[in-house]
């Protein structure tokens, strides 16, 4: 059996997942559990508990043969199933071969600069991405970007870097202890991987979400800034203010970071980092 993607969602048009207009493909499954995750339903694979089926009012979900079945034509898009899922998953995922995904993306090839894989953590499906990138290369001028949390082995990273055109990598926090609290793991692998990607000239963008109470302090921003400044290449640093949309768990009710606060951090960042610093 060949490679298969487990796809949570395809956004045909995105302006915030790399340069130009891109189709963003959100893959299902993640290897970390960020407190501020905006797409918690992408974190785990469905284990067919069936709890979502009862809450569907339009008959888009059925439970048969111990499995949840999704009927997209009946779906009203209320996302009640996602909110009820105890497993940070979604019953609405699709399984697609790299060729099938390409066929779908290719209908809009004229409108887009490329495809960005996101998630979840898309590097968990690296083999499918590589096969997809090969198809893209032989059939189109589209580029393939990988949006990653940076938590992967060097072997996977090197393999992906040979086939993807670029990477968008999260630097969620420079302080390893805070990173542990925020993400659930240490950050030494992340820092090493970002460095490697920059050395391979594959790093397009570094992203940091400023989360009140975690990394919203000057020292933290300055340390990130110094790290990014020293990276080879021209990757930009995108600093994103925390918003609680979709967030579950202990910081679900945390207030948003204001645009003014975000600009203050961006200014601090620009003092230490000569690379382009943008805010969202």
Partner 1 sequence: MSNDKFRAIINNPNLEYYRKREQLFLAAEASVPEITVGEVARNYIDNGVICGLFEGNAPYRPRYVLPDYEKFFRQGSEYLQLEAPKDIFDAINALLIIYRYVPSITLYPVYLGQIDELLEPFAVSVDDGVLCSLLRMFVINVSRTMPNSFVHYNIGPCATRVGRIILELERELKQSEPNLSMKVDDATPEDYLLSAVATALETGKPYLVNHERELQEWDEFYGIASCYNSLPRGGGSYTLVRVNLRKAALLAESVEDFLEIRLPDVMKALFEIMDKRVDYIINQAHFFEGSFLNNEGLISRERFTAMCGAFGLYQCVEHLSGGLKLGVDADALIIAEKILARMRALIDSHRNPNCFENRFMFHAQSGIGDDVLETAGARIKVGSEPELFEHIKVAAKMQHYFNGGVSDIFVFDRTAKNNCAGVLRIIRAAFKLGLKLFAFNSDESDLVRVSGYLVKRSDLDKARNQQVTLSDTAGLGQQAVDGQNLLNRKVRKLNDGE
- For partner 1, the binding residues (CB under 8 A) are 11-17, 19-22, 24, 37-39, 108, 110-113, 118, 147, 170, 207, 209, 240, 243, 245, 278, 280
CB of 124 to partner 1, least distance (A): 15
Least distance from partner 1 to the Cβ atom of residue 115, Å: 13
- Beta carbon nearer to partner 1, 47 or 111: 111
Please, what is the minimum distance in Å from the beta carbon of residue 109 to partner 1? 9
**Shorter beta-carbon distance to partner 1: residue 170 or 220:** 170
Which residue in 177, 119, 178, 175 sits closest to 150, CA to CA?
A: 119
Which residue, 48 or 236, is less far from partner 1 as judged by CB? Answer: 236
- Judged by CB, which is closer to partner 1: 53, or 112? 112
Q: What is the DSSP string of the chain?
A: ----EEEEEEEEEESSSSSSSEEEEEES--S---TT-S-GGGSS------TTGGG-SSS-EEEETTEEEE-GGG-----HHHHH-TTS--TT-EEE-HHHHHHHHHTTGGG-SEEEEESS-GGGGHHHHHHHHHHHHHH-S-EEEEEE-S-S-HHHHHHHHHH-SEEEEE---SSHHHHHHHHSS-SHHHHHHHHHHHHTT-EEEEEEEE-TTTT-SHHHHHHHHHHHHHSSS--EEEEEE---TT--STTTTPPPPPHHHHHHHHHHHHHH--S-EEE-
CB of residue 38 vs partner 1: minimum separation in angstroms?
5
Q: Tell how strand 166-170 and strand 143-148 pair up.
A: parallel
Which residue lies nearer to partner 1 by CB, 116 or 193? 116
Closer to partner 1 by Cβ: residue 7 or 112: 112
Cα 188 from chain centre: 19
Q: Shortest distance, CB of residue 113 to partner 1, whole angstroms?
A: 6
- The least CB distance from residue 10 to partner 1, in Å, is 11
Tell me, rounded to whole angstroms, the distance of Cα 30 from its chain centroid. 9
Q: How far apart are CA 2 and CA 12, in angstroms?
A: 25
Min separation Cβ 55 and partner 1, Å: 25
Which residue number, 96 or 209, has a Cβ lying nearer to partner 1? 209
């Amino acid at each position: 059996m060949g490679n298969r993607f487990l796809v949570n969602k395809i956004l045909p048009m995105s302006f915030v997942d790399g340069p130009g207009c891109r189709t963003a493909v959100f893959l299902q499954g993640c290897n970390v559990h960020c407190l501020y995750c905006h797409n918690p339903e992408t974190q785990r694979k469905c284990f067919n508990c069936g709890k979502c089926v009862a809450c569907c009012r339009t008959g888009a979900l059925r439970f048969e043969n111990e499995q949840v079945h999704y009927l997209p034509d009946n779906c009203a898009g209320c996302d009640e199933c996602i909110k009820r899922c105890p497993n940070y998953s979604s019953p609405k995922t699709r399984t697609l071969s790299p060729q099938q995904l390409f066929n779908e993306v290719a209908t809009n090839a004229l409108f887009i600069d490329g495809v960005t894989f996101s998630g979840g953590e898309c590097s968990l499906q690296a083999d499918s991405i590589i096969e997809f990138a090969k198809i893209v290369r032989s059939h189109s001028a589209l580029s393939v970007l990988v949006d990653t949390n940076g938590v992967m082995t060097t072997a996977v990273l090197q393999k992906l870097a040979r086939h993807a055109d670029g990477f968008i990598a999260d630097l969620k926090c420079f302080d390893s202890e805070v990173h542990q609290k925020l993400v659930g793991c240490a950050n030494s692998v992340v820092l090493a991987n970002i460095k490697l990607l920059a050395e391979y000239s594959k790093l397009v963008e570094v992203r940091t979400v400023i989360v009140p109470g975690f990394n919203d302090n000057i020292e933290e921003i300055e340390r990130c800034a110094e790290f990014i400044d020293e990276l080879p290449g021209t990757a930009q640093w995108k600093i994103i203010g925390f918003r609680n949309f979709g967030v579950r768990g202990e910081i679900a009710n945390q207030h948003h970071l204001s645009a003014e606060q975000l600009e203050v951090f961006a200014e601090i960042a620009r003092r230490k980092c000569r690379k382009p610093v943008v805010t969202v």
